[in-house]
Amino acid sequence: MPNDPADSAPRQPAGEPGVPAAPARRVTVQRRGPLLMEGPVEVELEDGTMVRSDRFRVALCTCRRSRRYPWCDTSHRRRADPPR
């Protein structure tokens, strides 16, 4: 089942035995906002294009209003519904 807590159990990393796995990236989900990720990141777009950001924190657009998509330019703030 997706997002099942059992999915977060430690697993044997893929690759060579004895080679430490890369640290997990932290993703912060915000209501009515972008996904904030610790960088650097590479993003594969729908058409297969790869884009990269070397910044230490990256904001990924989730509303598709950004003129710099997939990077957030805070366009969601101008058109977002008022908080409830």
pLDDT in tens, 41-76: 999 999 999 999 999 999 999 988 899 999 999 888
Q: How many CB atoms neighbour CB 83 within 10 A?
A: 6
Q: State the maximum Cα–Cα separation within the chain, in Å, rounded to a whole number.
A: 52
Inter-residue contact 53 to 72 (CB < 8 Å): no
Residue 60: alpha-carbon gap to chain centroid: 6
Cα distance between residue 71 and residue 60, in whole Å: 5
- What is the pTM (predicted TM-score) of this model? 0.62
At 27 the pLDDT is 86
Non-local (6+) Cβ contacts of 15 within 8 A are: 21
